Amino acid sequence: MAPAHVLSLPTVSIGFRPRKSDGRTKTIAAAKTQEPHNHNQNWVVGSKLAAADHQYKRPTKSRVDVDRLVKFLYDDLHHVFDEQGIDPTAYDEEIEFRDPITKHDDIRGYLLNIALLRQFFSPQIILHWVKKTGPYEITTRWTAVMKFVLLPWKPECVLTGTSIMTVNPNTGKFCRHVDLWDSVQNNDYFSIEGLWDVFKQFRFYEASELELPKYQTLIRTANYEVRKYGPFAVAERSGENLFGCVNSVGGWGDCKEDDRIMKLRNKEGGIAAVLNFSGKATEEMVKNKAKELRHYLKKDGLRSVNNNSCLLVRYNNSNQTWSFAMRNEVLIWLQDFSI
């Protein structure tokens, strides 16, 4: 396995204290005892709105088996973007769909939206869980990874969030689907914040030609991501000339002047918070980014494994890549995280 592009980096946090909140940042559940779908108050509000906005005259004794529909969604949603597709007979003709930048009010628009995403974004969906959250309500948690194929560098757009699926008790079919994204505060249609969140992911980064660590994005907020990493190899070194050595992930071409260098060791992987940034990763910049990430983690109630270390990941050769096209990441391992 090719050495990954990371190195151990002690961080400095002299006199640093997180500021009081001057903006709204989503709170993500870090304790396993918390209900996963309650780590953002907006989701609870959205759930109540979804029920309030769609009043149906319920039969005296509904025969809708919501538990069966939970099992149905576990299977059906895996096919939302493949050739098989979802089963349209499970949805009302007048199903309402809403996310921050899209809305449709019938099954034709609902299916057209899925078809357009398949055509232009080659999307993949990862379904984390599906659960009953009300008498006629099912909530799902997912990660969607999409590549915009019309742009030559094929940028990757990642969204994570929950979907609130409302069941019509008269028909036993889904009558409403509301998507709530982790990365925006305003999940109502039409959200300029949501549009900008998608658009900014289209920016150009020079692609790495090296093998990268494998990971799955669990949560993507406006400021950082939480990822699940598999095992990977780490190239490490220490010393004052730390940042002059790593040009790219797994690449050590600038180390000729200083051969104190590195050792290779394997990492088991795990759950990590990641903050990405562009430009040349100077020592001061990386320390500031690590402080910034720790601030977000503390604000959102997430616990790091080690308060004094992080990993720096570089995806590009600093001698061959324009500064604006460089991609760097600061990574901090987390403990007791669940979604």
Q: Quick check: is 193 in a domain? A: no
Is residue 148 reached through a cis peptide bond, with omega within 30 degrees of 0 on the bond before it?
Answer: no
Asked if residue 227 lies in contact with residue 272, where contact means CB atoms within 8 angstroms, the answer is: yes
pLDDT at 268: 87
199 occurs within a structural domain: no
Same domain membership, residue 325 and residue 266: yes
Shared-domain flag, residues 113 and 216? no
For the chain, list residues with pLDDT below 70: 1-61, 207-211, 235-263, 317-319
Q: Identify whether residues 262 and 327 lie together within a single domain.
A: yes
Residue 46 in any domain: the answer is: yes
DSSP per-residue codes, 117-157: HHHHH--EEEEEEEEEEETTEEEEEEEEEEE-TTSTT--EE
Domain end call among 124, 149, 181: 181
Number of domains composing the chain:
2
Residue with tokens 């969607």: 144
pTM comes to 0.76
Give the dihedral sign, CA 279/285/290/295. negative
The H or E element spanning position 97 is: strand 91-99
The values of phi and psi at residue 146, to 5°, are -135, 140
Are residues 169 and 128 part of one domain?
yes
Name residues whose C-beta falls within 8 Å of residue 243's C-beta, 6 or more positions apart in sequence. Answer: 281, 282, 283, 286
Give the type of residue at 311: L
Judge whether 104 and 212 are in contact, CB under 8 Å: no
Q: Tens of pLDDT along 304-335?
A: 998 888 888 888 766 677 877 888 999 999 99
> What is the torsion angle, in degrees rounded to the nearest 10, for the CA atoms of residue 130, residue 131, residue 134 and residue 137?
20
Domain-embedded: residue 227: yes
Question: For the domain that residue 82 is a member of, what is the CATH number?
Answer: 3.10.450.50
The per-residue pLDDT for range 276-291, each reduced to its tens digit, is 999 988 889 999 999 9
Is 101 inside any structural domain?
yes
Range of the domain at 50: 41-181
Query: Do residues 11 and 97 both lie within one domain?
Result: no
